[in-house]
Structure 1
Amino acid sequence: MKKPPSLVWLPADHRLLGRDDHTMPFLVLGDKYARAVKENAGAQPVMFPLAQASQIAELLELVDGVMLTGSPSNVHPSHFNEAVANASLPLDPQRDALTLDLVKACLEQAVPLLGVCRGFQEINVALGGSLLQAVQDVPGMMDHREPKDAPYSEQYAPRHTVSLVAGSALAQWAGAETAQVNSLHGQGIGRLAQGLRALAHAPDGLVEAFEVQGARAFAYAVQWHPEWRTAENPFYTALFQAFGDACRARNEHRNQQSRQ
């Protein structure tokens, strides 16, 4: 019998799509995220449309990992006790209502967890951290946003160096203590949540990656976008391969339990 694939849950964005006042709600998942999981982590991406926080425990029993993707939307600042600073920026409270609880459940149930961009920020907020709502407006900080009118190849091009903690998993995946990464975010880490260990910093000191200390399974997150043309970047490839390995380990454990 063919071994069942590892399944990775990618929560969807909630967006109104259309023109002017003719819009309808859609559940959206970026192709590049699903493709990176499929082709570089070697797992099957899955979605649970309209999943609610009350269903997290039962749905996690069906999967081998969770990837929290990037998104045009921001985590609502009410989750870190702030008012909305810029009402023109998109929010997704329905996603927040699922993913912030999903982070905690993954850690409690030892489900491999990978966060990218918004997902990186979600993990920090879920565990009690805060965000800078506009990094570029903070004195001494860089502008980490992409040139929005440029071609995607330029938007996702390497933008700055990150310093990686020596001996960390990220340094091992990069094969060095520095790496060039892309940068497409306006928000960033303000206060790092207790229990998170920063593993990478931008030149301005902004936290760009972390691990969950004491996690019983893979639990890493990065502010940049390793899902962009992953196979062309050995560092990004190694990150997804490590995530895939962790998912396969859980898959094997789940299959053993089902045979008992």
Structure 2
Amino acid sequence: MHRPSAEPRAVVAISTDRVDRHGHTTHAGFHGYVHAVATVGGALPLLLPSAPEALDADTLIATVDGVLLTGSPSNVDPARYDAPQPHAPMLLDRERDATILPLLPRLVEAGVPLLAVCRGFQELNVVYGGTLHPAIHTLPNRMDHREGDHQRPIERWYDDSHALHVAPGGRLAEMVGERPLQVNSLHHQGIDRLGQGLRVEATAPDGLVEAFSVAGAPGFTLAVQWHPEMRVGDCPLARALFSAFGEACRARRAERLRSRFH
């Protein structure tokens, strides 16, 4: 007996890292993001290559319903925000910078839902004219936001690490309320100067910006410094973020289909 097919899901493009694997240039993404988008966001995850010559904003806007900017071991090149190269070694991914950074203003302006995590959070800040500090733990009156002991099992890296103070009246507060929460922390860089037109959505106890949105953005646009994708199985905050993102992507898909047929 013929069964009607399920309603097609919203499509979410997930940014990748440009890495070397066995001597081959590779586009890589952690499974945690794929899992969170598919199971909690209810969307179809597709990996977006870090290849600027292969992508363009117009096609993305016309074909995807959301974009997830992932975290990464690499950092945004300091040259992108007019900072000197650090003295200590820093893992960079200039191909990802060249791919993602030019796309972001167009995606936001077009109302494509955007969820940015860790490196993605920092990318979005830089695009809007913000700057980063390369080693938050070296600053006076700041916490150590790094992941800690690398000998622990990898899943323990994502345990809650510090409190999160949600700003009143913002997008994040609408999702989870304004009560204090707990989040994990796996970053050595952090926001130095917040970009123009960005609204603080949450801070750490030391005042470091942990979440922001783009003020006036026509669509869902939220950036977080912590890693919710690894906690969707046991953390209400993580599930709330990906649920809200998925809902925005489904609304975008419905709008995109209506405009196509009318």
Same fold, TM-score > 0.5, yes or no: yes
In structure 2, the partner of 1:137 is 138
Offset at 1:166? 2.0
In structure 1, the partner of 2:34 is 34
Mapped to 1, the partners of 2:177 and 2:59 lie a distance apart of 38
In structure 1, the partner of 2:258 is 256
Aligned: 1:162 with 2:156:
no
In structure 2, the partner of 1:72 is 73
Kindly indicate whether the alpha-carbon contact (under 8 Å) linking 1:33 and 1:227 is maintained by their aligned counterparts in 2. Answer: yes
CA shift digits 1:105-146 (9 cap, x unpaired): 111211111100000000000110000111111122111000
Residues 154 and 145 of structure 1: is their aligned pair in 2 closer, same or farther, counting only changes over 3 Å? Answer: same
Offset at 1:258? 2.2
Mapped to 1, the partners of 2:159 and 2:187 lie a distance apart of 13
Give the AA of the match of 1:28. A
Give the AA of the match of 1:139. P
State which of 171, 193, 196 in structure 1 corresponds to 2:195. Answer: 193
State which of 224, 230, 236 in structure 2 corresponds to 1:234. Answer: 236
In structure 1, the partner of 2:104 is 103
Residues 114 and 247 of structure 1: is their aligned pair in 2 closer, same or farther, counting only changes over 3 Å? Answer: same
Residues 109 and 37 of structure 1: is their aligned pair in 2 closer, same or farther, counting only changes over 3 Å? Answer: same
Residues 50 and 193 of structure 1: is their aligned pair in 2 closer, same or farther, counting only changes over 3 Å? Answer: closer
Give the AA of the match of 1:202. A
Identity between Structure 1 and Structure 2 (%) = 45
Residues 86 and 40 of structure 1: is their aligned pair in 2 closer, same or farther, counting only changes over 3 Å? Answer: farther
In structure 1, the partner of 2:16 is 12
CA shift digits 1:47-106 (9 cap, x unpaired): 243542661221221100011000000000001101221452210000001111121111
In structure 2, the partner of 1:206 is 208
Mapped to 2, the partners of 1:242 and 1:199 lie a distance apart of 15
Mapped to 2, the partners of 1:48 and 1:166 lie a distance apart of 34
In structure 2, the partner of 1:92 is 93
In structure 2, the partner of 1:224 is 226
Kindly indicate whether the alpha-carbon contact (under 8 Å) linking 1:166 and 1:177 is maintained by their aligned counterparts in 2. Answer: no
- TM-score, length of structure 2 as denominator length: 0.93
In structure 2, the partner of 1:25 is 25
Offset at 1:10? 0.8
Secondary structure at the counterpart of residue 89 of structure 1: coil
Query: Which of structure 1's runs of 4+ aligned residues deviate more than 4 A?
Result: none
In structure 2, the partner of 1:124 is 125
Kindly indicate whether the alpha-carbon contact (under 8 Å) linking 1:165 and 1:177 is maintained by their aligned counterparts in 2. Answer: no
- TM-score, length of structure 1 as denominator length: 0.93
Mapped to 2, the partners of 1:82 and 1:98 lie a distance apart of 20
Secondary structure at the counterpart of residue 230 of structure 2: coil
Gaps of 5+ in 2: none
Give the stretch that moved more between structures: 49-58 or 9-18.
49-58
Offset at 1:232? 1.2
Kindly indicate whether the alpha-carbon contact (under 8 Å) linking 1:171 and 1:178 is maintained by their aligned counterparts in 2. Answer: no
